[in-house]
Amino acid sequence: MKIKLLAIGKTSAAYLDEGIAVYLKRLVHYTDFSFEIVPDVKSNSTMEPNKLKELEAQAFLKRITTKDQVVLLDENGKRFSSEGLAKQMSAWMMSGDKNIVFIIGGAFGFGEELKKRAAMSLSLSEMTFSHQMVRLIFVEQLYRAFTIIKGEAYHHK
């Protein structure tokens, strides 16, 4: 099973890129993981948010296959503890038949076509984070989930 993280647009803060790089380096010891930046959709200040969401959805849909299980990172999604995420990751790994693609959308969320394609939406918190900050938080939590699965000391209960 392969795991991919897709995110729209470049990160504007070097400290976020540095933090993400730390966890990307760690994750490859546990799984076949990749992180791909989807270029920002060209828009202007008069573009309606729904139109922008649909254009972003099309950009994401071009990067997934029928064999991919799509999980949207969305503030309204299902919430897990770190242990719960580890349990869910284990279940997905045991099923073994699909790759998992996690998607971090833009500031306005996800277009309807992408929502329909997704198997699940996952929330990292009741709080709202910038879509750039979510990248770092999520890769750390994914790393934490793998250390929990492996019984390593990174996570303290």
pLDDT per residue of the chain (157 residues) written in tens, 0 to 9: 899 999 999 888 999 999 999 999 999 999 999 999 999 888 777 889 899 999 999 999 999 999 999 999 998 999 999 999 999 999 998 887 789 999 999 888 999 999 999 999 999 999 988 888 999 999 999 999 999 999 998 877 7
CA distance 87 to 148: 9
Amino acid at residue number 112: E
Strand duo 2-8 + 99-104: pairing: parallel
Does a structural domain hold residue 33?
yes
Residue 99 sits in a domain whose CATH number is 3.40.1280.10
Let me know: does 9 contact 106? Beta carbons within 8 Å: yes
pTM: 0.94
Does a structural domain hold residue 143?
yes
Domain that includes residue 68, residue range: 2-149
Strand duo 68-79 + 120-123: pairing: parallel
Does a structural domain hold residue 66?
yes
